[in-house]
Amino acid sequence: MKNNFLRALKTTARVILFFFLIPDCSIAQEKGTLKKTPLSQPLVNHIYTADPSAHVFNGKIYIYPSHDFEAGVKEDDLGSHFAMKDYHILSMDSIGGKVTDHGVALDIKDIPWAGRQLWAPDAAYKNGAYYLYFPVKDKTDVFHIGVATSASPTGPFKAEKEPIKGSYSIDPCIFKDDDGSYYMYFGGIWGGQLQRWDNNQYHADAKLKTQNEEAILPRVAKLSADMKSFSEEVKPIRIVDTNGKTFLESNNDKRFFEAAWMHKYKGKYYFSYSTGDTHNICYAVGNSPYGPFTYKGIVLLPVEGWTNHHSIAEVKGKWYLFYHDVQLSGKTHLRNVKVTELKYNPDGSIQTINAYK
């Protein structure tokens, strides 16, 4: 009788415990398995693409991305696992329309001076020719920026025999101003090697800035008429706070890391960029293509994956943000490009975008 009573008591206790604990366990399990709902879907899924530079040429949208693939390279802070070796160009007639992959537009084996790692490109058009600008390490493992030309926006592109003289680091962005001048914005710290360049001189043993030092600045140079060279010395770009002070390295949620982009809106120059290790896409506004640019806020919050890289383009009177995440692979170095609408407030500020609902 005593044993039966104890068994009944234990059973009752288990039932009570079940009803108290299961709801919490269910909630915890739900939280653990809950996946973010993406705001946008990948533009293509047959290859991995990243770092999308978008332009409208002759009324059609062209996207110049990096082409990710599994190279089997061990991951490190210098981005060695981003071992890209060619470019595929994408196009579409309208946002949301069919996306065409035009195949290999430029292969690393066809760049005479290239060593390895064909990273984020950009493109421009002038006088019947299309120009593809790309960063790649030379045969001594130093990043420079090259240029290739084509009669078609989709290539194939033929690379120049040497990199652009005076170029260095990564992430070229080509901006055409209203007066017809073209500028290249570029730079990236850590694996992008910008920290090795001081006053346009290379120092192989240079270190990253410490927390209380002024952050490393992005660069700009005006392009020559031939679009294949700089017409001036490379200059640093100041990104400042509302008091006109340049950010310190400790302000790593606002300071420049990589992924420079320039666009113009209502007469103002909008310089946007990635903060890298804090994963924001931020923007700053100025009155000159050379800056200084005053920090205004975040364009895009961190996406899934380590990198955050973007472009901004106007298409048929609306503005769009092109970006990437790792929805298809879940792996940092295998990314997919996306697009979503970008909106401005009446005062010219950009509404912050969360890539997930």
| Separation between Cα atoms, residue 102 and residue 7, nearest integer Å | 72
Q: Which of 51, 68, 304, 325 is catalytic?
A: 51
H or E element in which residue 143 lies: strand 143-150
Sequential DSSP letters for 204-227: TT--PPPTTSBPPP-EEEEBPTTS
Q: Look at the alpha carbons of 20, 24, 25, 27 in this order and tell me if their dihedral is positive or negative.
A: positive
Q: Which of 122, 171, 258, 325 is catalytic?
A: 258
Whether 277 is a known active-site residue: answer: no
Structure tokens that stand for 324 in this block? 């990437």
Structure tokens that stand for 203 in this block? 């120092």
Residue that is written with structure tokens 């200084």 in the block: 292
Question: Nearest Cα to 208, choosing from 224, 197, 222, 223?
Answer: 197
Cis peptide before 153 (omega within 30 of 0): no
CA angle centred on 93, ends 91 and 98, rounded to 5°: 70
| Separation between Cα atoms, residue 282 and residue 273, nearest integer Å | 6
Question: Nearest Cα to 275, choosing from 260, 257, 290, 259?
Answer: 257
Whether 347 is a known active-site residue: answer: no
Question: Nearest Cα to 296, choosing from 215, 235, 352?
Answer: 352
CA angle centred on 67, ends 140 and 90, rounded to 5°: 135
**Which backbone phi and psi does 14 adopt, to 5 degrees?**
-65, -40
The β-bridge relationship of strands 100-107 and 86-92 is antiparallel
Question: Nearest Cα to 303, choosing from 322, 283, 284?
Answer: 322
CB 52 within 8 A of CB 65: yes
Q: Look at the alpha carbons of 328, 332, 334, 339 in this order and tell me if their dihedral is positive or negative.
A: positive
Active site residues: 51, 258
